[in-house]
A and B are shown apart, each in its own frame.
Chain A
């Protein structure tokens, strides 16, 4: 079926609603790699078998990830006319009792995490209700908004994560998907779309926080035969997975964002850059692109308009530095992934020297709701200088590792305590690493800092991609700095002298410090290298690479001194 008008889209929407709220029972299981590693596949098998045996008319659906990683595998049950109930840590032996309860139309309180009576559809602002009346046995289960994990959250980019089947375009449309595209194509000029993005003041979620609208405008106004829009799915920071969650839970939102971007900028082609070897993400994206092509949401004359657009998925070799815009473009062109000087912006001369607009996954996912609901709605969320929300991937010494989306301005302490369930018992918070290796470590005393592009830069860190690694007092900062620098040494492209040589020498010095053979001069020498690298390096990776050393020297200088003068590691991490 080709979607040629808003009426067709509405038809697709009602089909999707039937899938989301079917006449029979719908059981949905999270199947991201992390859930699968916790035996979600066995749970699905068992669920199907049990449901069959009990002769229950039910469909088992694989969905993405809600973000409660610590409770995986997560199973959600939707019985017609009753609230949706979310169960956590479901193992194979818990399945029979769960199915038994389903057959009676009841909920199992001891496994239940929360219930959902109605949900807000972010793209339209309307509510989607599961049950008008809540049965008494369901009332004992807390509501989703009372569940601690959801309290600080506002889910815009993650609006469909864990709710819809990522392989189903109908379900995406039922949640307000592609309505922003139809609004943009039928009611708005490209300039108007850009205007909304500028007014919403969306800042690029890739790390730098450059205003997306300005970039779009420059790109639209730049002269070029062809124009391109790119989506950066490269994610190299160790221990985080927000892109993976977005790709595997809601691939269509990326496509919709890209198509709107293409329309606004005047591009005919969009590229999605993905790591080589990321099979599950590739599968989901390819399937989504195929579906969009099939339904006429990609290709010629989209939704009956004059606008034509196609999306191509490209796999790169997957070096860390390929997440840098110019290196990414070099990879797409078939050259080796090395950044080039950016004195002429990529918005003017990017891919194949044509005006190119690159944004990351999260930025693109934010675009459809902004177009649907306007800049005013988006502007109310967040802080003065950083609007909207940020997807945070929380790991490290917290009780619960998770992935959540909080409004900008939420403090790091709130994130750690409410989302992460506090620091591991018996230990204290020592440092927080925000934004991956090229950001910096912030001390516990700065835990009250809000998540905000400018505030974090002021403190000597970066928001980066939003990975947050929490460290307790058993962590040695010198060792941690060494770990990050080692990572960066391996991942530096080696093109410019300061980054290639400087990072290597920093690693050598840090190796010496943690081996107990550090010298007093080493601290000054480190500082000198940091000062040189942060300004003289060619690309942003090189410029931000020394941040981890700079921030630890700033906040934990004493610990460096103890390593040198007493030759002991206070946290007993370094082997001396």
Chain B
């Protein structure tokens, strides 16, 4: 066990714990935007900054990826830290004023008006969708493109995300809820006046993706896309019926 203090409180925690985890175990709140418990830390949003004093030296670090150490002293709410968090939220609130999470954060920190020109970006560029797709799912279907203030998340080269499995993990982790996904009954292709029925499908608009669904052999119900199934087939040793029946009938 490692002994440290957070905001003056003496804490014991396991090795390899991050400051953020240790703080949460002890109900000390540190705001985050790009952190997800199931994924490795990204440290993009910088909201979780804290002041750490180690071996007589004080520095500002992000708590989501900084590991605890014996005798460390952490301050999460100093004047300096609060000022930095406020500025980050203010910058964010002027980029994405209509994102619910950002508004809540701004309210919490007492930021009423931002002093910058307002924009209306839906995406806050936390990077969680790209991260979950590459690290957890392993599909690497989406990516960042552009850099600096023109950075966006998109399908490779702005076309359609060919490798998308349609699993919807990106939608699940998005804190800004800006990825739109829809399951439709009947997908069609149109070509020169004629059209072909493709059956049910899942659409993820942000990545220009349409993933077709499959019919259950037992009940005839449609069940989520075969492409993640194919991926699982290759990656995970599962019984054959898993791929032939829907969740209810398994």
Give me the interface of A with B, judged by CB distance under 8 Å: 319, 321, 336, 341, 343, 489-498, 500-505, 508, 521, 525, 528-529, 531-532, 535-538
Contact = CB atoms under 8 A, between A and B. Distances in A.
A497 B43 contact: no
B147 A497 contact: no
A505 B46 contact: no
Interface stretch (B6-14, B58-66, B180-188, B233-241): B58-66
A500 B148 contact: yes
Given A502-B91, A535-B84, A341 B149 contact: no
A336 B144 contact: yes
Given A505-B116, A531-B83, A497 B46 contact: yes
Nearest to B33: A497
Contact of B84 (A494, A501, A525, A532): A532
10 contacts: A341-B41, A343-B66, A343-B67, A492-B149, A494-B125, A494-B148, A496-B43, A497-B91, A529-B87, A532-B88
A535 B49 contact: yes
B115 A498 contact: no
Interface in B123-170: 124-125, 127, 143-144, 146-151
Interface of B: 33, 41, 43-47, 49, 60-62, 65-67, 80, 83-84, 87-88, 91-92, 94-95, 115-117, 124-125, 127, 143-144, 146-151
Given A508-B116, A535-B84, A500 B149 contact: yes
B95 A492 contact: no
Given A494-B125, A495-B127, A535-B84, A341 B62 contact: yes
Nearest to A529: B87
A400 B144 CA distance: 44
Nearest to B65: A341
Given A495-B127, A531-B84, A532-B88, A500 B61 contact: no
Nearest to B145: A336
B84 A497 contact: no
Interface centre among B84, B87, B91, B143 (most CB of A within 10 A): B87
A492 B125 CA distance: 14
Contacts of A521: 115
Nearest to B59: A535
Given A501-B95, A505-B116, A493 B46 contact: no
B151 A528 contact: no
A532 B116 CA distance: 15
B41 to A, nearest CB: 8
A251 to B, nearest CB: 30
B44 A538 contact: yes
A489 B80 CA distance: 25
Contact of A491 (B49, B87, B148): B148
B125 A500 contact: yes
A536 B44 contact: no
A507 B138 CA distance: 38
Contacts of A489: 148-149
Given A336-B144, A495-B127, A500 B151 contact: yes
Given A505-B116, A508-B116, A537-B46, A493 B147 contact: yes
Contacts of A538: 43-44, 46, 62
A501 B147 contact: no
Contact of A492 (B92, B124, B148): B148
Nearest to A535: B60
A493 B147 CA distance: 5
A508 B88 CA distance: 16
Contacts of A529: 87, 91
A521 B65 CA distance: 35
A494 B45 contact: no
Interface centre among A494, A503, A537 (most CB of B within 10 A): A494
A531 B60 CA distance: 12
Contacts of B87: 498, 502, 528-529, 531-532, 536
* Closest 7 pairs (CB-CB, A-B): A494-B151, A532-B87, A501-B91, A492-B148, A504-B149, A535-B60, A536-B46
A498 B66 contact: no
A490 B146 CA distance: 10
B218 to A, nearest CB: 44
Contacts of B88: 497-498, 501, 532, 536
Nearest to B116: A505
A532 B43 contact: no
Contacts of A336: 143-144
Contacts of B151: 493-494, 500
Contacts of B33: 497
Contacts of A525: 115
A508 B119 CA distance: 13
Contacts of B127: 495
Interface centre among A489, A496, A521, A529 (most CB of B within 10 A): A496
A496 B147 contact: no
A489 B151 CA distance: 11
A275 B230 CA distance: 41
Contacts of A490: 148
B99 to A, nearest CB: 13
B147 A492 contact: yes
Given A494-B144, A496-B44, 4 more contacts: A341-B43, A501-B94, A508-B116, A532-B88
Contacts of B117: 508
A492 B151 CA distance: 10
Contacts of A501: 88, 91-92, 94-95, 149
Contacts of B67: 343
A272 B160 CA distance: 36
A448 B58 CA distance: 32
Nearest to A501: B91
Contacts of A495: 44, 127
Contacts of B91: 497-498, 501-502, 505, 529
Contact of A496 (B46, B83, B84, B150): B46
Contacts of B146: 494
Contacts of A504: 148-149
Contacts of B49: 535-536
B147 A319 contact: yes
